[in-house]
Amino acid sequence: MSTIEMMETSMSSIEEGPPAVLVQDLWKRYGDVEAVRGISFHVRRGEIFGLLGPNGAGKTTTVEIIEGMRRPDGGQVRVGGYDPITQADQVKRRIGVALQSTALPDKIKVREALKLFASFYPRRIPVGELLQLVALQEKAESVFDTLSGGQQQRLAVALALVNDPDVIILDEPTAGLDPQARRELHGVIERMRAGGKTIILTTHYIEEAEKLCDRVAIIDRGRIIALDTPRRLVARSRGQSRIAFRTATPIEVNALRRIPFVQKVARNEEGYTVWTVDVPRTVVELIKWLESGNHELLDLHVMRPTLEDVFIELTGRSIDR
């Protein structure tokens, strides 16, 4: 048994079977650039697995190797147990990739594009079902170049689904879309998961990873630096919660530092923020202190650490920088 076969077997469970995708110690270099430096992970059946990282982190290279579009310099990949290089036909049957929609002719109609793509495959999902899934029923007879960016992107997702693949790869599907179009696409992705698909999603939008993904691999400079559910990544971080509040009368910032569990204090135009390692006890102490000083509390809200905080903690910088 090869190492990768042993990994597949050891990661199998009775309910889930072998992982949908297995990536083991992947390496890829372009000239002097080491784009991927020893990446390993597995994707479970039916989950949305996120690759989150800044531009140039190696996300696209990783998914292109999974798709069989690029050869790794080292390491191995299995999709449903098949090797994308030596068993490309088997992998193509099982994987759907959302192409950059600009690859379509401008004058093609939505329905025509779906029929054309479906004609390449023996197994296919009915066009009406696809249109419904991506909420493009009303645009079925519209010409491609009249679609909005969000509609074009939803069409790209529908095209990835025509042959009813098990695994869908979405590389930065919402890049450049406005918040409304992004939310609509998120709905499509969630419906795909509800339909039992396994989804690999690359993104540099932290909120997207946090909202959609069952598990997230944070990638930086060609390596995975953390991998878990968004909730556990945040819970494990040392990031502190913040309590932001406003009062009717000004208060002395230094006095806030003496409240138990408060680690840091800031004042801005909105009011005051305290960082704490224990939200419930700090809230109780803070309110007691405000009452004892006759400071009327106007509002208060708690902000938990986010994946953004986790990213900064791990890399020392924000994802957009």
What is the nearest approach in angstroms of ligand ATP to the Cβ of residue 61? 3
Task: Report DSSP letters for 209-237, one per residue.
Answer: HHHH-SEEEEEETTEEEEEE-HHHHHHHS
State how beta strands 223-228 and 215-220 pair. antiparallel
What is the nearest approach in angstroms of ligand ATP to the Cβ of residue 58? 4
List, edge to edge, every strand of the sheet that includes 95-97: 95-97, 167-171, 198-203, 48-52, 215-220, 223-228
Angle at the Cα of 283 from the Cα atoms of 300 and 286, rounded to 5 degrees: 90
What is the nearest approach in angstroms of ligand ATP to the Cβ of residue 312? 18
Other Cβ atoms less than 10 A from the Cβ of 22: the count is 22
Contact 140, 147 (CB under 8 A): no
- 56/187 with CB nearer ligand ATP: 56
- 222/305 with CB nearer ligand ATP: 222
What is the nearest approach in angstroms of ligand ATP to the Cβ of residue 201? 12
Contact 244, 301 (CB under 8 A): yes
What is the nearest approach in angstroms of ligand ATP to the Cβ of residue 33? 5
**Cβ neighbours for 227, distance < 8 A, ≥ 6 positions apart:** 41, 215, 216, 217, 218
Residues at the interface with ligand ATP (CB under 6 A): 30, 33, 35, 53, 55-61, 172
Contact 26, 77 (CB under 8 A): yes
What is the nearest approach in angstroms of ligand ATP to the Cβ of residue 32? 9
What is the nearest approach in angstroms of ligand ATP to the Cβ of residue 97? 14
What residues does 186 pair with on adjacent strands? none
- 8/172 with CB nearer ligand ATP: 172
- 23/125 with CB nearer ligand ATP: 23
**Residue tagged 């920088």 (tokens):** 321
Question: SS3 helix, strand, coil % of the chain, rounded to 5?
Answer: 40, 30, 35
What is the nearest approach in angstroms of ligand ATP to the Cβ of residue 35? 3
Both structure tokens of 312: 């900064």
Q: For residue 303, give the 3-state DSSP assignment.
A: strand
Give the chain's length.
321
- 58/305 with CB nearer ligand ATP: 58
- 19/53 with CB nearer ligand ATP: 53
State the Cα–Cα distance between residues 112 and 127, nearest whole angstrom.
10
- 191/223 with CB nearer ligand ATP: 223
- 60/237 with CB nearer ligand ATP: 60
- 131/209 with CB nearer ligand ATP: 209
What is the nearest approach in angstroms of ligand ATP to the Cβ of residue 50? 12
